[in-house]
Amino acid sequence: MKKALLPTFAALGILALVAAFVFVYVTAKNADTETASTTTSGSSELASAVASDSNYVDNVGSDAVTIVEFLDFECGACGQFYPYVEAMREVYDGDINYVVRYFPLPSHLNSMDAAIAAEAAAQQGEFEAMYHRLFETQGDWAGGTPPQTDAFRALAEEIGLDMDAYDSAVADPATQARVEADFDAGVELGVNSTPTFFVNDEYIETSRLENLPEAVDAAVKG
């Protein structure tokens, strides 16, 4: 039997998670509807949604179900989705790989720097720690006058990074190129808004939000 999501979800099972996802999706979409300047729709036919250098927050092996989220750390919808994604990770702990890919929307002026900060942390094996702190503090820096690099550097210090290595990574054009590679891969896959999800390389249409937990549940049981 799966773990309870959170105290408020205890004993309610996956249907409570579905309802929570539906609620947060509607709320988030009403608050944040910006998209990238692409015209394609989601498709998993062009390439795998996972790259060889993708960042994992859960990695339990190639036989597990793999969920990929293309996200923007400054995106309000992604921020509101974050606690529900974390709840889903807890429910399926040990059964899923969870991959995060960068998709900084041009309309979010701090999103590229946030992604660069996350990638700089990833180079020290601390991607997940920065992923958490960026969403936990999103309200402090999102929408602020760019650049918010001092705020991101402070987060790097909080999680104990080697700051000389962090500063070098942030300044290295290759770090931004790594972020842009994720964005380009997303465009190739048809991603044009955030968050966008794939389950085992299948694009999940989330206009009906139950589709995501249903797809994950079916794949885990499959």
Q: Tell me if the pTM is above 0.75.
A: yes
Q: For residue 94, is it within any domain? A: yes
Domains: count for the chain: 1
- Taking the C-alpha atoms of residue 59 and residue 64, their distance in angstroms, rounded to an integer, is 8
Among 213, 134, 120, residue whose Cα is nearest residue 170: 120
β-pair type (96-102, 196-199): unpaired
CB 120 within 8 A of CB 145: no
Cβ atoms of residues 50 and 174 within 8 Å:
no
CB count within 10 Å of CB 184 equals 12
pLDDT reported for residue 35: 56
Cα separation of 49 and 180, whole Å? Answer: 15
Three-state secondary structure call for residue 205:
coil
- For residue 4, CA distances in Å to 22, 58, 125, 132 come to 19, 18, 29, 21
The CATH number of residue 85's host domain is 3.40.30.10
In the sheet that 65-71 helps form, which strands lie side by side, from edge to edge? 55-58, 96-102, 65-71, 196-199, 202-204
Do the domain assignments include residue 149? yes
**Does a structural domain hold residue 3?**
no
pLDDT value for 47: 78
**Alpha-carbon gap, residue 104 to 63, rounded angstroms:** 30
Q: Is residue 204 part of a domain?
A: yes
In a domain, 21, yes or no: yes
Closest CA to 106 of 115, 98, 119: 115
Q: Are 138 and 71 in contact (CB under 8 A)?
A: no
User: In this predicted structure, what is the pLDDT of residue 211?
Assistant: 85
Q: Which residues of the chain have pLDDT under 50?
A: 1-12, 15, 18-19, 22-31, 33, 37-45
Q: CA-to-CA distance for 5 and 86, rounded, in angstroms?
A: 9
Counting every residue written for the chain, the total comes to: 222
Q: Does 6 fall in a domain?
A: no
The answer as to whether 121 is a domain residue is yes
Q: Is 106 helix (H, G, I), strand (E, B) or coil?
A: coil
Domain ranges, residue 126: 11-221
| Domain presence at residue 1 | no
